[in-house]
Structure 1
């Protein structure tokens, strides 16, 4: 098992950066969207320089799923200012674009917020939450991501697994990197796209590929587990929204994201 840093490593090449996508960071035969964003964001950070070391915002449109293996990331600088710098980046495999991103780099710290309207969610203790297996019974696919990112979910989020679909459209729980690494601004992108998708908790069996995801990283996370909540407002016309929020072990909001995903019920 590669660490997150190893699985997202990039190397300078003519025209951008090269990377080798790791199949471990996937669901079934599809690579995880947050993982792909992290690979792109690492390439952008490598090109941004020390004045803007941290990811603070990123929007990615997913065009087609890449296969595990070699890819290139093309990075274009759009603007560099005193407080932030903006970039456009493209993940390419075999000459075909797989994802397009707009990325803002800046400087993060651990300061308390000037104001916050989002209270820390109330969850059971971490050891009272259910550790999701990578080979869930009846799923029909291996969720490899769960071998590298531990998901301990509030049992009230899992009634769908016992034949009682959720009526709230929400999941919550704790996330840790399985190799013991601490969370950082790039790995938070993976945590902002947790599993299972809300559609599954509502009783809709099938794939829920991300169409577009926008993430904001608010501060450097403290060591320890993340508290995660994710909720959908509506499933309609074969699509759903999902809004994810992450708090670190000190109770500080560290990242948030909104995504639009397709809902493709199994035939």
Structure 2
């Protein structure tokens, strides 16, 4: 099992021109499809290699998932758009076999662990982690393997698990605890993984089948405290075979450390 750092490593091909190679690890996948947050973490790591050392952290990422990459080698190209005093902006493209897979705009800056001056979303209330249900690699009745659960420990609130027994709450809500299975602490890169929660909120709406990401926007707000994080994902609108989801992540001190919005594809019943 590769830890997060090894699984997201990039190798310079021509670093002066922002060109890198990487190897996508099949273990960071759901149903054979690579996890979107994991893919973005690799791209953000390449961006940090190109960016000025004064801006080491991703603070905003907006990505379009053009096609699902397969496990194996990929190429990454980073273009610097602007380097300012407090923020650098870069364009990053991941290709595989000369085909575009993911395109992202990444803002880099410097985060700290200071408490917020003001914060709106209150930390989600959850049972203790040991009283929540760990998501297994082979979820009963799912029909696919969630290899990601070997490298990310996810403990879901029992209150949102009705979908597993055929009684979804219809709130479009999934929430629980997350930690990296190797015991390492969350950082600005790995928080991109936490923002793309498993399972999708559509399960709680009674919609079966996976929900592939079309567009994902993430904001990393501060350096997280050591330990597991609390994550809440809420569907906000479903229609036209698309679903909007919003995600909030809090650290062990109850501080909002990351937020995200996602547009995903879903299959809804015919109106007829």
- Is 1:75 the counterpart of 2:75 in the alignment? no
Pick aligned residue for 1:264 from 260, 264, 267: 267
Q: TM-score, normalised by structure 1?
A: 0.98
Q: Distance in 2 between matches of 1:148 and 1:166?
A: 28
Pick aligned residue for 1:128 from 128, 131, 140: 131
Q: Distance in 2 between matches of 1:206 and 1:191?
A: 21
Indicate conservation of the 8 Å contact 2:78/2:91, yes or no. yes
Indicate conservation of the 8 Å contact 2:28/2:147, yes or no. yes
Q: Distance in 2 between matches of 1:125 and 1:239?
A: 33
Number of paired residues?
266
Q: Distance in 1 between matches of 2:79 and 2:182?
A: 33
- SS of structure 2 residue aligned to 1:207: coil
- 5+ residue gaps, structure 2, are none
Tell me what 1:242 maps to: 245
Tell me what 1:6 maps to: 6
Please report how far the alpha carbon of residue 207 of structure 1 lies from its aligned counterpart in structure 2 after TM superposition. 2.0
- 5+ residue gaps, structure 1, are none
Tell me what 2:115 maps to: 112
Pick aligned residue for 2:95 from 87, 92, 95: 92
Indicate conservation of the 8 Å contact 1:207/1:265, yes or no. no
**Structure 1 residue ranges, 4+ long, deviating more than 3 angstroms after superposition:** none
Q: Distance in 2 between matches of 1:122 and 1:27?
A: 27
Q: TM-score, normalised by structure 2?
A: 0.96
Deviations 1:21-76 (A, max 9, x none): 00000011110100110010000011113111011000000000111000011000
Q: Distance in 2 between matches of 1:19 and 1:263?
A: 30
